[in-house]
């Protein structure tokens, strides 16, 4: 899997906390699931539904994000 523009945008929004301001990071299908499978994010809370769970960016996710800037 590659870091598509949509996945990069989602990671950037998550890292900046923009989701707290109402930005939708799930616009592109199963984006959170794809980032999770890539190891770029991980669940920070219990196993709630994928959309209502809390996520954290992993070191790999941060490195991928920085590499595309």
The pLDDT tens digits of the residues spanning 18-64 come to: 556 666 666 666 788 888 888 988 888 766 676 667 788 899 988 88
Q: Which two tokens stand for residue 50?
A: 């994928």
CB 57 within 8 A of CB 41: yes
Looking at residue 65, its pLDDT comes to 82
How many Å apart are CA 41 and CA 34, to the nearest integer?
A: 9
């Amino acid at each position: 899997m590659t870091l598509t523009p949509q996945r990069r945008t989602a990671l950037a929004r998550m890292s900046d906390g923009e989701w707290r301001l109402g930005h939708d990071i799930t616009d592109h299908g199963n984006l959170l699931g794809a980032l999770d499978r890539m190891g770029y994010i991980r669940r920070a809370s219990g196993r709630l539904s994928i959309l209502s769970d809390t996520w954290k960016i992993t070191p790999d996710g941060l490195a991928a994000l920085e590499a595309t800037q």
